Homo-oligomer: A and B are copies of this chain.
Amino acid sequence: MTSKPNVRQPGHVACRDCSLSSLCLPLALSLQDIDQLDRIIKRGRPLKKGEHLFLEGDPFTSVFAVRSGAIKTYTATNEGEEQITSFYLPSEILGLSGMDTDVYPVSAQAMETTMICEIPFDQLETLSDRFPELRRHMMRLMSKKIREDQQMMMLLSKKNADERIATFLINLASRFRRRGFSSQSFRLSMSRNEMGNYLGLAVETVSRVFTRFQKNGLIFAVGKEIEIRDPVQLCSLAGGKSVDLEQIISTA
């Protein structure tokens, strides 16, 4: 390899040139500061579908940003089945929950071919000492994650199958929209099985709800391709006070 510090492999984009930077980086960082962050970020080869980014119990060393593709995190239940805890789409950050135990509490696996930016945590901490804004960004990220998890707890303890799936679809739509993609029409990166696992439903229930939604003109689904046909009704099913919902409606 003849690569010099500033020569990246093809497909390796610097943070300052990354279209996702406004989503995953604190806005207040100056260009020079971003370059400093850029220097500590490791960009590995793409992960193929099924490959693991880290395993439950692995020593906690880094947090990760998804550049393209999709990642799921999961943990093992007592009976040894997998319980999916989160899906991560491009620009989203994972690995923050390992910080206080020094091991990752979940496994992270690619659901499709996935590009990842790795941020070694000790270097991130060093950099945090210098840039208060970066540190606040990290804390905000974690705070947001806590709120999202609590929304999820609400879904799991109070919503029925229809509401869970409506909520899930609206949430995905909102995340696609945030990255500049269509919020009406997108491709699910997870199987019905994974969706059910995440939402606390049996596969068959997921399938039945999809069929019913389609029959009622709420969505149009062919395999993993989803089109949201009636966002207003889907949002009202999803309930919730989230601002996201209104945004989806307004752009539909």
List residues of chain A with CB under 8 Å of any chain B CB. Answer: 75-78, 83, 85, 96-101, 105-106, 125, 128-129, 132, 135-136, 138-147, 149-150, 152-154, 156-158, 199-200, 239-241
Tell me whether chain A's interface is mostly helix, strand or loop, or mixed: helix
A-B residue pairs in contact (CB < 8 Å), sample of 18: A75-B154, A77-B158, A77-B239, A78-B239, A85-B153, A96-B146, A97-B146, A97-B147, A98-B143, A100-B139, A101-B143, A101-B147, A135-B135, A139-B142, A142-B143, A152-B153, A156-B200, A158-B200
**Cβ A153 vs Cβ B149 within 8 A:** yes
Point out the residues of chain B lying under 8 angstroms from A149, CB to CB.
Answer: 146, 149-150, 153
Point out the residues of chain B lying under 8 angstroms from A156, CB to CB.
Answer: 153, 156-157, 200
Shortest Cβ distance from residue A88 to the other chain B in the assembled complex, whole angstroms: 14
When C-beta atoms are compared, the residue in chain B nearest to A56 turns out to be B241
